[in-house]
Amino acid sequence: MARDVNQALAREFGLSAGEYRNVLEIMGRTPSLTELGVFSVMWSEHCSYKSSRVWLKQLPTKAPWVIHGPGENAGVVDIGEGLAAIFKMESHNHPSFIEPYQGAATGVGGILRDVFTMGARPIANLNALRFGDPKLARTRRIFDGVVRGIGGYGNCVGVPTVGGEIDFHPAYNGNPLVNAMTVGIADKTKIFLSAAAGIGNPVVYVGSKTGRDGIHGATMASAEFGADSEEKRPTVQVGDPFVEKLLIEACLELMATDAIVAIQDMGAAGLTSSSVEMAGKGGVGIELNLDHVPQRETDMTAYEMMLSESQERMLMVLRPDRQDIARAIFEKWELDFAVIGHLTDTGRIVITHNGQVEADIPLAPLADQAPLYHRPTEETPPQPPLGPVADPVGLGAALRTLIACPDLCSRRWVWEQYDYTIGGQTVMRPGAADAAIVKLDGRSRALALTTDCTPRYVQADPEAGGAQAVAEAWRNITATGALPLAITDNMNFANPEKPRIMGQFAAAIRGMAAACIALDFPVVSGNVSLYNETEGKPILPTPAIGGLGVLEDAAQAVGYALAPGLDLVLIGTTQGWLGQSLWLREVTGREAGPPPPVDLAAERRHGDFVRGEILAGRIAACHDLADGGALIALAEMALAGDTGITVEPGGDAAIWFGEDQGRYILATADSAGLLGRAAAAGVPAQRIGASGGALLTLPDGDTISLAELRRLHEAFLPGWMDGAS
């Protein structure tokens, strides 16, 4: 190996001077290149959570229905009937900026593996996406690639993509966010974990071969890969969804036997993190002989194999007497299967290659002495109150603007590229309800799934915004009639070394934690993505929430498509909160004021009441109020059901476009009964209109036809993408 290991190289590998000193102390000597590589990836922000760990601890993670919280490949909750839902969300932001199609595709592949590695058959994918200013050609190219990539991978593996969310903001110009979520189902007594056990047990590699994918370019800048100045190797990984599909089927087939002791996907930092974590969690040692690693390229070094991020690979510890059964299954699915090592009692990871020991590291200090930072934080100062705002345009014009704007327009163009019916269990498709409803095959039970975050609120007030993101996920699930059970999160923030950013993170966690506790909605898995900024420009703080709820009977689910002849009742309190609202931004051009406060007690009371009414079969349609406020929610209900609405007269822009939280619109044949029960439950409710006809009649008497509304709503994305290549 041509390069000397020293502090300069350690810095190139991303280790600070202090961290490198720590490495020297643990090793008691200068580490080899491979050893330094192992330390650098295990102690990276991505694997060690060194900046975020102290804060993540504040999230509530327990509830009677939580089977496994954070710490495993994905979170596991009991959903009844002996079944568990396994789910997690993960980011692929940076790769998606460099190569949108492959970045997004491999993001989907990675999160799928985190879920099926635990024994679950994936039944749904969702995503949470943020893009820059749509006026930029680059934004369009990234958007196109990301959508194609998510579809390309998800459609091929045959997991329906049933939901997601998309926002645009110039803060994401140089740093889009691609967060992907997978939900799977398993027998709750057959969950597979990653802690290795059984000294002498074989360590088995399955899936695709290893290439030099994703090994970081900076660490490659030397002569060691051949004298000729070959074209700079891309650090982009290419996904193979076909192999992933085979891997899912082969793993599930093997999981039906008793062959597996422990299993983990090879995600970020591939072979390194999977082997170190499996051995570390099991408190055993591990010895790997890299000669046996299936390789796609020639002359790979130990360093390269340990750091490769080639996709579609898994690492397992097997019962030795079941090795042949396992091999036969993987051969049937035409996947590589190789015994590459075994467990030892040394507490060390030992890596050999070509008869040479390339690394020999004690595992305990690698984990226990991983860096942990209490980085300085600085609170975001509160936004000054908004004060009085004049309405420059009136209700009709504002509705026409908002319903067509990039953040509120129809996402049909996107979801029509995602297979959302495969599996034959999709009860509520994209565009039909506040959460997607996916039934469990052969049962009446169903899951309600959603992703949510309002980054402009988090930017203005990280704590309120963090609480709002959790509350909105809870509300979206509730609005279908389902009982919210748990969340996964994806904390996307900028550079944590800046106190203001770290302060955003800490405050968002505070807000999230408060909401999780108040709503009985614990965090069972998640991901942290930091350093999301380009040229010093940070993204909006974006703690994306993936929520999961359960419905005992899928037939009880309601969507927001409206039928004629119903009364519309607004649940919740409307003050007319315009701070950080889309009306303020799109109509007056201002991003100002504090975001709407979340009253968690009211949120819970209103939601529990709404769910009760839905499950009692008294509600024909329900929609939560979010971006754009009441009039936007009404317009969306009208469009989804192709049914007009006459809205009650009175009220101004603040009333109709304000974004007060904790609100729902219910469609019912019996508003008197509903109002009575709401009053009895202490839940604010008022009748705000009735459905029928083909017009939306606004509170000021202005009308707009559904046809025009639909044209406006559906225009932006197809128009914007027309001619995109």
Partner 1 sequence: MKAVVTVMLKAGVLDPQGKAIGQALAGLGFSGVGEVRAGKVIEIELTGTDPEAAKTQAEEMARKLLANTVIESFRVEVA
Partner 2 sequence: MKAGIIVFPGINRERDMAIALERSAGKKPRMVWHRETDLSDLDLVVIPGGFSYGDYLRCGAMAAQSPIMAAIRGHAARGGHVLGVCNGFQILTEAGLLPGALLRNQGLRFLAMDCHLRVERADTDFTRHYQRGEVFRAPMAHGDGNYFADDATLDLLEGEGRVIFRYATPSGEVTPAANRNGSARNIAGIASANLRVLGLMPHPEDLVDPLMGGEDGKPLFDSITAALAA
Ligand X SMILES: Nc1ncnc2c1ncn2[C@@H]1O[C@H](COP(=O)(O)OP(=O)(O)O)[C@@H](O)[C@H]1O
- Which residues are designated catalytic? 46, 92
Stretches 264-272, 298-306, 423-431, 474-482: which one binds partner 2 (CB under 8 A)?
A: 423-431
**Side-by-side strand order, sheet with 202-207:** 260-265, 313-318, 202-207, 336-344, 285-289, 348-353, 356-362
Give CA angle at 384 (378, 388), nearest 5°: 160
Q: Kindly write down the DSSP assignment for every residue of 539-557, as one continuous string.
A: PPPEEEEEEEEEES-GGG-
Which two structure tokens, joined as six digits, stand for 651?
A: 């009220």
Looking only at residues 44 through 83 of this chain, which bind Mg ion when binding is defined by CB under 5 A? 73
Which does residue 523 bind out of partner 2, partner 1, ligand X, none, counting CB within 5 to 8 angstroms by kind? ligand X
Contact flag: residue 309 with partner 1 (CB under 8 A): no
* Least distance CB 277 / ligand X (angstroms): 7
Looking only at residues 609 through 668 of this chain, which bind ligand X when binding is defined by CB under 6 A? none
Contact flag: residue 70 with ligand X (CB under 6 A): yes
Which two structure tokens, joined as six digits, stand for 245?
A: 């599909």
- Strand partners for 73: none
Say if residues 271 and 202 touch (Cβ distance below 8 Å).
no
Contact flag: residue 294 with partner 1 (CB under 8 A): no
Contact flag: residue 489 with ligand X (CB under 6 A): yes
Which does residue 73 bind out of Mg ion, partner 1, partner 2, none, counting CB within 5 to 8 angstroms by kind? Mg ion
H/E segment holding residue 323: helix 323-332
Stretches 410-418, 473-481, 650-658, 686-694: which one binds partner 2 (CB under 8 A)?
A: 410-418
Nearest-angstrom CA–CA distance, 307 and 529: 19
Looking only at residues 245 through 304 of this chain, which bind Mg ion when binding is defined by CB under 5 A? 265, 267
Instruction: Report the amino acid identity of residue 412.
Output: R
* Least distance CB 17 / ligand X (angstroms): 25
Residue for token pair 């504040």: 58
Nearest-angstrom CA–CA distance, 276 and 287: 10
**Whole-angstrom Cα Rg for the chain:** 26
Nearer to ligand X, 91 or 410 (CB): 91
Q: What is the 3-state secondary structure (H, E, C) of 27-62?
A: HCCCCCHHHHHHHHHHCCHHHHCCCCHHHHCCCCCC
Which does residue 631 bind out of ligand X, Mg ion, partner 2, none, counting CB within 5 to 8 angstroms by kind? none
Stretches 397-405, 425-433, 520-528, 620-628: which one binds partner 2 (CB under 8 A)?
A: 425-433
Contacts (Cβ under 8 Å, ≥6 apart) of 60:
513, 516, 517, 522, 523
Burial grade of 672 (CB within 10 A; 0-12, 13-18, 19 or more) = exposed
Which of residues 116, 333, 505, 664 is near partner 2 by CB under 8 A? 333
Contact flag: residue 51 with ligand X (CB under 6 A): no
* CB atoms closer than 10 angstroms to residue 357: 13
Nearer to partner 2, 7 or 417 (CB): 417
Of 134, 87, 149, the closest CA to residue 112 belongs to 87
* Least distance CB 158 / ligand X (angstroms): 22
Which two structure tokens, joined as six digits, stand for 439?
A: 């039934």
Which of residues 161, 175, 310, 380 is near partner 1 by CB under 8 A? 310
Total residues in contact with partner 2, by rule CB under 8 A = 33
Which two structure tokens, joined as six digits, stand for 235?
A: 């650090």
* Least distance CB 401 / ligand X (angstroms): 36
* CB atoms closer than 10 angstroms to residue 235: 19
Which of residues 28, 388, 589, 723 is near partner 1 by CB under 8 A? 723
Which of residues 207, 241, 270, 526 is near ligand X by CB under 6 A? 526
Looking only at residues 47 through 106 of this chain, which bind partner 1 when binding is defined by CB under 8 A? 98-99, 101-102
* Least distance CB 725 / partner 1 (angstroms): 4
Nearer to partner 2, 327 or 353 (CB): 327
* Least distance CB 257 / partner 1 (angstroms): 26
Nearer to partner 2, 231 or 334 (CB): 334
Contact flag: residue 141 with partner 2 (CB under 8 A): no
Stretches 238-246, 450-458, 532-540, 624-632: which one binds partner 1 (CB under 8 A)?
A: 238-246
Nearer to ligand X, 478 or 525 (CB): 525
Long-range contacts made by residues 227-234, C-beta under 8 angstroms, separation at least 24?
Answer: 234/99
Stretches 68-76, 202-210, 664-672, 682-690: which one binds ligand X (CB under 6 A)?
A: 68-76
Separation in Å, CA 176 to CA 77, 145, 429, 533: 31, 12, 26, 10
163's torsion region: left (phi>0), alpha (psi -120 to 50) or beta?
beta
* Least distance CB 115 / partner 1 (angstroms): 22
Buried b (16+ CB within 10 A) or exposed e, 613-633: bbbeeebbbbbbbbbbbbbbb
Contact flag: residue 114 with Mg ion (CB under 5 A): yes
Looking only at residues 215 through 274 of this chain, which bind ligand X when binding is defined by CB under 6 A? 267-268
Binding residues for partner 2, rule: CB under 8 A, are 148, 151-152, 155-158, 240-243, 245-246, 333-334, 415-427, 429, 439, 441, 554-555
Residues interacting with partner 1, by CB under 8 A? 98-99, 101-102, 208, 211-213, 230-231, 233-234, 236-240, 242-243, 296-297, 310-311, 334, 723, 725
Q: Which residues bind ligand X (CB under 6 A)?
A: 47, 56, 59, 70-73, 88, 90, 114, 267-268, 489, 491, 523, 525-528
**Where do contacts with Mg ion occur on this chain (CB under 5 A)?**
73, 114, 265, 267
